[in-house]
Amino acid sequence: MNAEVSRSEEKSAIILLIIISIVRPFVPEGFVWGLAVVQILLLVRAISRHDWNTVHLGILVCALTLFSLIPGTRRWPWSFLMPVLLYWALLQSFRPLRLTATWLRTGHPMLPIWIIAATVAAGSAVSLLLWFKLARPDVEWAMGLIPSWSPGRLVLLGLGFALFNAAVEEMIWRGVIFDALERARLPITLVVLMQAVSFGVVHLHGFPSGSLGILLASAYGAILGVLRAQTRGLLVPFVTHAVTDSSIFGILVYLAHE
């Protein structure tokens, strides 16, 4: 009975942590501190119970919330990079966290999965172009990030951006978040959907942005979640994500030099 109660409490805490991360972008800043307090209390409770699955998730989502409140770290890349660095430092510092980190694996992709991944990457590039042509969003802020470099240096910059952004975001959503939901023994469909929506809402002010951006990013996150579930690892989602981010960088370079 105690095991059942413990499993139920773990599942409830994990679901609540994810729900808070989903609503956070839509909550006024003054109330976000309240959400952070709830997340911290859930984390402290999980530590006291040695519920390491919830601890992994709690550290990361608490850090995402807290760094979103600090003016110097609320924008990309710091909004994602700082929580990941903090989580990784704690992971390396505490043996129970190291021993219970099960999310970092490449998986076992087969050729058909790679073909599907290539199709997804190509479809994502087309979708991004269509989104830009139809929605005509204001991307001046993003174009301002593109330096006036030579083509060769821009290619290297784009590659670095794609690899960096894909690695950080896949570690967060298809890594720690997906693994925590899966280990809580939630139905795989719910696991895929919850991590996808959590991934989508952080693109409210991203590329793509707005309500349509959230919808597109959530759908893309769901596809990456399915690839993660099918391959049991991060390699295929990471490569697919990196190719898509390369497309985003290419679009921004084109717009900046148009």
- Interatomic CA distance for residues 226 and 81, integer angstroms: 25
Nearest residue to 224 via CA among 212, 215, 234: 234
- Count how many Cα atoms sit within 13 Å of the Cα of residue 26 in the half-sphere of its side chain: 11
pLDDT at 1: 37
Task: Find the length of the chain.
Answer: 258
Rg of the chain on CA atoms, in Å: 19
* Tens-digit pLDDT profile for residues 165-186: 999 999 999 999 999 999 999 9
Task: Give pLDDT, residue 145.
Answer: 73
Task: Please give the share of the chain, as a percent, with pLDDT higher than 70.
Answer: 95
- pTM of the entire predicted model: 0.94
pLDDT tens-digit series, residues 142-156:
666 778 888 899 999
Quickly tell me which residue has 């939630």 as its tokens.
186
Which tens digit of pLDDT belongs to each residue from 7-30? 899 999 999 999 999 999 999 988
Q: Is the pLDDT of residue 48 over 60?
A: yes
Tokens of 80: 């994602």
| Rounded Cα gap, residues 186 and 192, in angstroms | 10
Q: In the chain, where are the structural domains located?
A: 1-101, 105-258
- pLDDT of 141 > 50? The answer is yes
